[in-house]
Amino acid sequence: MHRRLLSALALICAAGLAATACSDPTAGDAGADDGGQTAVNPTARLDGVKLTMWTAQNTVNAPRQAIDAFEKATGAEVDTQAIPDLYEQNVPTKLASGDRPDLMFWQPSVSTLPFVQPRQNLITLDGEPWVSQLGDTEKSLGVIDGKRYAAIVTSPAMLGVYYNKDVFRQAGIAEKDFPRSYDELLALGHRVADKTDAAAFYEAGGDKWPLQWQMQVQLTDLDRQWWADLNAGRKKWTDTVVVGAIKKYKDKLLDAGLAQKNYRTGTFTGQADALWKGEAGMVLNVTSFQSQLQAKYATAEIDKRIGWFPVANSSATGLYSPDQTNGVVAFKTGDEKRQDAARQFLAFWLGPDYPDYIKAMKIPSVQPSVPTPGGLPETSKAQVAALPKAIGVFQAKAIVAPDTHLYLADMIFGKKSPQQVAQAIQDQFAQVAKAQGAPGF
């Protein structure tokens, strides 16, 4: 999700994907939609049926519980194949060569779903029994121009502030002081910097991808029409509001001394270590940071030391960020038996198996009727509570999600000004949108 090479994807689109033009994702043959699909029984026997599922290298075990249970219940076989990194680049390349799986993890956002040409290549999943069971935020994912192409099996990552409780106590910060705007967040940072030995924030310039979040939080006041205008070429990333967000990050946080001294070379793993040790008071990041903590420490330890709160530009609201583990798509292979089996697998995963799946994975539920398993850290519970009102990051709103982190990295090393960062973002956005054949480009 974080290190996509959109320029390469633009070239793939320009060259054509699976013998189709990488244009309007709804374009294609008149008979491309699969309407009137017969209902599937999640536990019907499928002896002798073999399905293939593509995953990223670091998520090859993510569907394991669902696969094992499905194979036991139905007699089918599901073979997982890990695609080499970078996943979001190599998948379209393999598809362009004519290779395709039955099922695949894929980011269910408007910025990434089009790269696999859903109208031409994917089975539509409208009307599947699990669709109505999804939470409101999850229902908004996996849909392009009113057609559902992805099953949502995990909740999108939540973006918010992780904080060290001891550092906050030293700074005299209580829950009533939690910020209700980005400006208040910066003010909180000054309290940490002035009253403790900790850095206010830990920024990961060495890994680059986390650099985007401080900018993202500041764009949450942009309304649906602004994003629609951006996607139609009527607005640009060089607009004052975007440049202002980049400049505020540079001037009011980095140059103001609110980040740790080595912010240019800081790392994602370094973030967790620094926050845990109290060397930093806050980290702004997504749920993968939470996963990193849970992999190293017990729930009781996390609850004692680390807290979490949501924040947006002008409200105490979290942001949700889709990634490739949230969505599973099913391909048109020309083999109806396998296509129906793929739909059956999704119906099983999000049906009778779902409570067992989330319990085994220790993750929040995407279905309000299925309780989130117990034993999760309070930070995770806070994110679950914030999700229904969360605001989508730009990956969920823009038809192309530029590699903002790369250009922000150029800025922190003095290679680009905030205006030049915005221009680079706009140039890449327009390049990929044009390659996709998006109207207005």
Task: Indicate the class that CATH gives domain 158-321+396-436.
Answer: alpha beta
Q: Residue ranges of the domains in the chain?
A: 6-156+323-370, 158-321+396-436
**For helices 6-15 and 418-436, what crossing angle results, to 10°?**
20
Whether CATH 3.40.630.30 fits 6-156+323-370: no
What's the rounded Cα separation, in Å, for the pair 261 and 73?
Answer: 55
Q: Are 22 and 12 in contact (CB under 8 A)?
A: yes
Pairing type for strands 151-152 and 143-144 reads unpaired
* CA distance linking residue 69 with residue 117, whole number of Å: 30
Read off the pTM: 0.88
Give how far Cα 202 sits from Cα of 65, 77, 278, 280, Å: 35, 45, 11, 6
Q: What tens-digit pLDDT sequence spans the chain (441 residues)?
A: 444 455 555 544 544 443 333 444 334 443 344 555 788 999 999 999 999 999 999 889 999 999 999 999 999 999 999 999 889 889 999 999 999 999 999 999 999 999 999 999 999 999 999 999 999 999 999 999 999 999 999 999 999 999 999 999 999 999 999 999 999 999 999 999 999 999 999 999 999 999 999 999 999 999 999 999 999 999 999 999 999 999 999 999 999 999 999 999 999 999 999 999 999 999 999 999 998 999 999 999 999 999 999 999 999 999 999 999 999 999 999 999 999 999 999 999 999 999 999 999 999 999 999 999 999 999 999 999 999 999 999 999 999 999 999 999 999 999 999 999 999 999 999 999 999 899 999
Do 158-321+396-436 and 6-156+323-370 fall under one CATH topology?
A: yes
β-pairing, 319-321 vs 391-392, is parallel
* 63 token code pair: 């569907």
pLDDT digits (tens, 9 = 90+) for 231-279: 999 999 999 999 999 999 999 999 999 999 999 999 999 999 999 999 9
Q: What pLDDT is stored for residue 83 in this prediction?
A: 96
